[in-house]
A and B are shown apart, each in its own frame.
Chain A
Amino acid sequence: MTVAPEKPATYEGTRIPSPVPTTLALPESLRGSDDILRINFGPNHPSTHGVLRLILDLDGEQVVGLSAVIGYLHTGFEKTMETKTWWKCVTYPERIDYVGYQNNELTFVLAVEKLLALEVPEKATWMRMLLCELNRIHSHLIFLGTAALELGAVSMFWYCFRERELILDLSEMVTGQRMHTRYFQIGGLAEDIPEGFFPQCREFVEWMPHALDDYLTLLDRNKIWLERTKGIGLLSADDAVALGQTGPVARASGVDWDLRRDEPYLAYANVDFQVPVYSEGDVYARYRVRVDEMRESTRIVDQCLRRLERLKGRPWISDNRKVVLPPREELHTSMESLIHHFKIVTEGFRVPEGEVYVPIESPRGEQGCYLVSEGGPKPWRVHFRAPSFVALEATATCTHDALVADLIAIVGSLDAVMGDTDR
């Protein structure tokens, strides 16, 4: 069934605007013309997923000029973290990308562990992987639900949030929090995995492929959806690399690159999964990459679950008492534990001098954490390489020859979280 009009899939050469790569300048011939309407798209438009503001020049429905204004959600996380001890900082990264929170927390924790050269128990590694994959599904569900909602497929939103609810329930069961869990600690996990988690997570793993089939039934043969996504918001592979694109946006443009496979961290080298790559570079390809990734993530969750079932009763956090809080019950019997507890909580532990950059594959692409330590109990500099920030740089390139309605689909498909963009 071919319903979408045939449009060129990719394009020759580059479409990155010049000299400012992130701004679509109004063509000389249209300057001063009475037909040009300049409007603000955002910062409070619902389809900007937060507080993105685009200044648009419209010629009829055609977008002929575009410049993005960001920073409305700038909260100074990086500055704040410089004043907190290392263990207190763990709370912050989750609030930066508040949709892919588990992955953000992981970047920071891995970076500190790299500076400390701290060994993490096997169980913690696999559980981190499991939760990060659940979080990836959670993030892609929000993308799929909201992106479809914006293009008029209202029911998709409810279906996606139905499965998202299952993930949040699992999260609540393990961590006590539905979102922003602070479950990953420097050295491992905050608590052991509760017994009831295994059957409930298994149920989810068995259900999720059916839910994905449902989504495809709803969307993938839907004429409106196809017409509004195919051939829209094109980005070629070369432009994607030049614009620093990673993650689903790059993989939808034919850049076959996934840090989980190409620079494995945690135990990704020991699980079996595929990396979906599409070459069309349009909104449709980005949607397909994410749907396929949810399927692969479910497979990874399944493999983690099998592995974790064999690790029952094993430690979940490092026993390095200079860094990790002692177990609660020891505080009543051991003087050393009490001292360690007191020192870690009040003064914080020291982290060796140095600088590291730790990248991981978050739901939005390469999420990096750059840390500089002076050797003291607080970070000297924290910086996050935010994939949403970089994704929005591609807006101008994708908006080539677009209509206002297409712009909604394009911004949705870049899947930027404004907390991540503005930090």
Chain B
Amino acid sequence: MSYRQLPGFVDEKEAFGETTVTVEPSRIRDACEYARDELGFRMLVDLVATDYLGWGSKGVSGYIGTASGRDLNLPSTQGLQTLPAVKPKRFSVSYHLLAQRDPAARVRLQCWLDDGEPVPSVVSVWPTADWHEREQYDLMGITFDGHPNLARLLMDDDWEGHPLRKDYPIGGEPVRFSDAE
């Protein structure tokens, strides 16, 4: 199946047997509607954002265990020699779609955002996106334009910051009760 007719189509790639279609963020709602109505992807199974801040900046260390890793002719290549592919922007938002037919079809629509850049909400296309979008807003700080109730979902209403961002430290929660009040 070709995804070229999707509104806002940017590119399409295959990896690990999965199809990822990059879409312009401003057209994502139209693309989702098209995928649902014309391509038969009636179900949104998952919506997930990823923060790529600092991606590839440290090099990659670790024990090279795979075919693509260590070059036996250059034993010293173990360690920091490879850098992962550059990402277009800081955040990716992935929409995992499922077509319940035989054979089953899955596709990942993906759009790329900078910090603070909004993306249209798809709640009007799939009601299930309601909590998914609220979760990503809460934990990752992605703004979904047109969401009917964009409030925090898992964290407290008065929580500061977005915990799944890479610049949010582990153990970064404010410690209450420790100040002399």
Residues of A within 8 A of B (CB): 16, 19-23, 70-71, 74, 76, 78-80, 83, 114-117, 241-244, 246, 255, 257, 262-263, 320, 322-323, 343-344, 347-357, 359, 366, 368, 370, 372, 374-378, 380-381, 383, 385, 389-390, 392-393, 422-423
Contact = CB atoms under 8 A, between A and B. Distances in A.
Nearest to B163: A79
B16 A70 contact: no
B16 A356 contact: yes
B48 A422 contact: no
DSSP class of B's interface residues: helix, strand, loop or mixed? loop
Nearest to B156: A71
B63 A243 contact: no
Interface stretch (B2-10, B25-33, B127-135): B127-135
Contacts of A378: 62
Given A263-B104, A347-B62, A349-B62, A242 B128 contact: yes
B42 A262 contact: no
Contacts of B67: 117
A381 B139 CA distance: 13
B63 A377 contact: yes
B88 interface: no
B127 A357 contact: no
B111 interface: no
B157 to A, nearest CB: 10
A234 B150 CA distance: 27
Interface in B51-83: 51-52, 55-56, 60-69, 82
A416 to B, nearest CB: 12
Contact of B153 (A19, A70, A385): A70
A372 B50 contact: yes
Contact of A79 (B60, B94, B127, B164): B164
B111 to A, nearest CB: 14
B134 to A, nearest CB: 9
A262 B103 CA distance: 7
Interface of B: 15-16, 18, 20, 42-46, 48, 50-52, 55-56, 60-69, 82, 84-85, 94, 96, 100, 102-104, 106, 108, 123, 126-128, 130-131, 135, 139, 148-149, 152-156, 163-164, 170
Contacts of B103: 263
A414 to B, nearest CB: 14
Contact of B66 (A23, A243, A255, A351): A351
A364 to B, nearest CB: 13
B79 to A, nearest CB: 10
Nearest to A375: B60
23 contacts: A19-B149, A22-B130, A71-B152, A71-B154, A74-B155, A117-B66, A241-B43, A244-B126, A244-B128, A262-B102, A343-B63, A350-B69, A352-B68, A368-B46, A374-B60, A376-B61, A380-B55, A383-B46, A383-B48, A385-B45, A393-B130, A393-B131, A423-B154
Nearest to B59: A376
A351 B69 CA distance: 9
Contact of B45 (A20, A115, A244): A244
A390 B128 contact: yes
A370 B46 contact: yes
Given A21-B128, A370-B48, 9 more contacts: A19-B123, A19-B149, A22-B131, A70-B154, A242-B126, A350-B66, A370-B94, A370-B96, A380-B55
B149 A257 contact: no
Given A257-B100, A263-B104, A353 B84 contact: yes
B84 A244 contact: no
A377 B100 contact: no
A356 B66 contact: no
Q: Which 3 A-B pairs have the closest CB atoms?
A: A322-B65, A244-B128, A21-B127
A393 to B, nearest CB: 5
Of A349, A383, A389, most B-chain CB atoms within 10 Å = A383
Contacts of A242: 126-128
Nearest to B173: A76
Contact of A71 (B55, B104, B130, B153): B153
Contact of B64 (A83, A244, A350): A350
Nearest to B101: A262
Contacts of A19: 123, 148-149
Given A21-B127, A381-B50, A349 B65 contact: yes
A322 B68 CA distance: 13
A80 B163 CA distance: 11
Contacts of B46: 357, 368, 370, 383, 385
B148 A20 contact: yes
Contacts of A381: 48, 50-51
B63 A20 contact: no
Contact of B82 (A368, A375, A380): A375
A350 B84 contact: no
A16 B153 contact: no
Contact of B127 (A16, A70, A74, A354): A16
B180 to A, nearest CB: 29
Contacts of B55: 374, 380
B160 to A, nearest CB: 15
A260 to B, nearest CB: 12
A71 B63 CA distance: 37
Contacts of B96: 357, 368, 370, 385
A377 B130 contact: no
Contacts of A385: 45-46, 48, 96
Nearest to A244: B128
Contact of A389 (B20, B48, B131): B131
